[in-house]
Amino acid sequence: MNRLALFDCDGTLVDSQANICRAMEECFAVSRLDPPPRATIRRIVGLSLVPAIAQLLPEAEAGQHEAMAEEYKRAFFAMRASGALAPEPLFEGIADAIETLDANGWLLGVATGKSDRGLRHILEHHGLYDRFVTLQTADRHPSKPHPSMIETAMAEAGASPGTTAMIGDTSFDILMARAAGAHAVGVAWGYHTMHELWQAGAGHVVDHAAALPAHLEAL
């Protein structure tokens, strides 16, 4: 079986919190609601849009969650079209870690709550799009922590749960990995704490991207 290193995007590959928070604030404003604090918004990064908004606004009905998800998409697209997006840099050491894993024979993939369009945009911006053999997004799957993204990625890459590592910064990623039977590797530079990653069942938590290749080789 092939070895597959499957990355989350927001909070794991790139620091995108500023744009996510701004778009979420805008969709709340359109609905004439006070937006949650940014610390609260960062808590839902990684979920698909409708479940994320449902967590932020649990008292609203499903129809309002869906309408606000569409407003979020419009806000994000408008920021991109106008050139108003804040930089979404790769986290320190990620590019080198991807280079090393590729050289070591790992197949690479992404499992993210972003859309196909959003994921392609960010990966192409950083010159990484062609590095990944499988890209799983919210457009085609239930939200994390459902294992569908990992199961499809493994099928596309010819990998098994025992040869697959899901690498992410939130408990949603860890729970998804465990649901799929894959190795759950947390990263400490994202939007949930190390304690939360361990509590969710992470087998490993790394504090810098430079440590990722060695951790994966030891699985």
* H or E segment and range at residue 216: helix 212-217
| 15 catalytic per annotation | no
Contact between 205 and 215 under an 8 Å Cβ cutoff? The reply is no
* H or E segment and range at residue 100: helix 94-103
Query: In sequence order, which residues have a C-beta less than 8 Å from that of residue 200 and are 6 or more positions away?
Result: 171, 174, 175, 178, 184, 186
Contact between 134 and 31 under an 8 Å Cβ cutoff? The reply is no
| 10 catalytic per annotation | yes
Which candidate in 10, 15, 169, 173 is catalytic?
10
- Helices vs. strands in the chain: H and E counts, helices first: 10, 6
Which candidate in 8, 15, 169, 173 is catalytic?
8
Q: Are strands 134-136 and 159-168 parallel, antiparallel or unpaired?
A: unpaired
From the list 24, 72, 68, 14, the residue with the least C-alpha distance to 44 is: 24
Residues catalogued as catalytic: 8, 10
